[in-house]
Amino acid sequence: MKTSDGGGRPERRGPPMHGGMGPGFGGGSFAGFDATAKVLGLTPVELFTQLHDGKSMEEIAKAKGVAMDKIHEAVKAARLAEARVKLAAAVKEGKITQAQADQAIKDIEAGRWPGHGGPHGPGGPGGPPRRPV
């Protein structure tokens, strides 16, 4: 087993699932994590290290003088930018129509993440039921 510190702990390959906030904070990528690090004035590795050392995101933000709202805005913007790129590729490949991509962007901007089933999303609490496949 490869270890990162010689102390027998396995090498870590990404940010921890800390407080429910793992890679991309639920977005399946690191865009949100990287955006959070940037807002905090840290590198992603520095942010990972602080989280790994047991600090909460709130503690790190407070120490850096950054409001959690700024972090949430940065994560949302990063996820939206990434979604735009992926949706444009899906339209170009003929997987979805431009109208479907436009609707997905509107949903994301309104806080509904298509297909994620989170709060207010399809299948999530307060959201519409998940559509049959």
How many C-beta atoms lie closer than 10 Å to residue 6's C-beta? Answer: 6
Is 121 within a domain?
Answer: no
- pLDDT for res 111: 78
Domain that residue 44 falls in: 1-75
Is 38 within a domain?
Answer: yes
Contact between residue 57 and residue 71 where contact means Cβ atoms under 8 Å apart: yes
Q: What's the full length of the chain, in residues?
A: 133
Is 64 within a domain?
Answer: yes
- Residues (pLDDT < 50) of the chain are 1-27, 117-121, 133
Is 110 within a domain?
Answer: no
Is 71 within a domain?
Answer: yes
Report how many domains make up the chain.
Answer: 1
Amino acid at 87: L
Is the overall model pTM greater than 0.75, yes or no? Answer: no
Is 128 within a domain?
Answer: no
